[in-house]
């Protein structure tokens, strides 16, 4: 074998994996320590946050250990509204619905205003439940105003219809149960004007949710059948919803197929058709 005289290449020793594993373990330890510290910080913050919310809710709800006065209660509702999340929303709903130790119309109104700004499907349904004749005018007004900024479908829509039907049938609102003397005519006129504004706000919500409104008028109030509710016929005219014309015509045809002694809201149906110019 021929010898070239060149030295054999020097073989480099293989690097040990021990230092790399040691660094990886060190990083893992640091990450774990950071995670533990972060978890402690978050838990501490949530605990502090919940305690603050509990205190504000207690002030607004009238619990003796927290209550300091009506003005402080109103401030507490405003401060509680700054918190986001389901827990804060549930507390505001309790206040708005009067599910608290102390029930105040002013606090209910304040809570309703704050709830109108929240994107929670429970809010419009709960707010619409306040549309009852026995509720105060301010509370009903706040609810109607809030629903103008909230989606109102399903139960919410039916609550509006139910309230309007009760009023249409002659049930008095809370403010109508104690007739005022003649000297208070201006007050009576002002209350009636406020009521009409409230109804107008509810009408605008029903028009906005027109398909849901028509669906409920069909399912619950018989629109399109041979026994349409007189309330539904009157409401359709007030709303000016020409989308209901096919349903009115269908009811008209169904009623005509019955005997002459069949009791049906024929005159109301014809009035509704005429008001909407249904042909």
Q: How far apart are the C-alpha atoms of 221 and 69, rounded to whole Å?
A: 47
At residue 33, the pLDDT reads 66
Alpha-carbon dihedral sign for residues 12, 18, 24, 26: negative
Residue 27: C-alpha distances to residues 15, 16, 22, 23 (Å): 21, 19, 9, 6
With CA atoms as reference, report the closest residue to 146 among 86, 106, 196, 96. Answer: 96
Assign residue 6 a region: left if phi > 0, alpha if psi is -120 to 50, beta otherwise?
beta
pLDDT tens profile 190-223: 999 999 999 999 999 999 999 999 999 999 999 9
Our measurement of the distance from residue 271's CA atom to the centroid of its chain's CA atoms, rounded to an integer in Å, reads 35
Write the pLDDT tens digit of every residue in 133-156.
999 999 999 999 999 999 999 999
**pLDDT (tens digit, 9 = 90+) per residue, 160-170?**
999 999 999 99
């Amino acid at each position: 074998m021929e010898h070239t005289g060149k030295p054999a290449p020097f073989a480099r020793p293989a690097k040990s994996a021990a230092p790399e594993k040691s660094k990886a373990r060190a990083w893992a330890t640091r990450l774990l320590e950071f995670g533990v510290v972060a978890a402690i910080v978050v838990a501490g913050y949530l605990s502090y946050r919940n305690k603050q919310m509990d205190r504000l809710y207690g002030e607004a709800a009238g619990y003796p250990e927290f209550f300091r006065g009506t003005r402080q209660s109103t401030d507490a509702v405003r401060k509680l509204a700054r918190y986001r999340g389901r827990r804060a929303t549930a507390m505001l709903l309790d206040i708005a619905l009067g599910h608290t130790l102390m029930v105040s119309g002013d606090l209910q109104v304040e809570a309703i205003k704050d709830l109108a700004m929240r994107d929670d499907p429970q809010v419009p349904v709960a707010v619409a439940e306040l549309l009852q004749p026995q509720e105060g005018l301010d509370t009903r007004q706040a609810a109607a105003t809030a629903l103008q900024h909230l989606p109102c479908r399903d139960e919410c829509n039916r609550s509006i219809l139910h309230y309007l039907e009760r009023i249409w049938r002659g049930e008095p609102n809370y403010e109508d149960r104690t007739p005022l003397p003649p000297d208070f005519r201006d007050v009576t006129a002002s209350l009636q004007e406020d009521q009409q504004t409230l109804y107008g706000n509810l009408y605008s919500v029903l028009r906005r949710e027109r398909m849901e409104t028509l669906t409920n008028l069909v399912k619950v109030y018989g629109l399109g059948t041979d026994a349409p509710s007189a309330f539904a016929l009157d409401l359709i005219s007030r709303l000016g919803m020409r989308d209901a014309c096919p349903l009115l015509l269908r009811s008209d045809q169904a009623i005509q197929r019955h005997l002459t002694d069949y009791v049906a809201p024929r005159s109301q149906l014809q009035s509704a058709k005429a008001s909407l110019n249904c042909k």
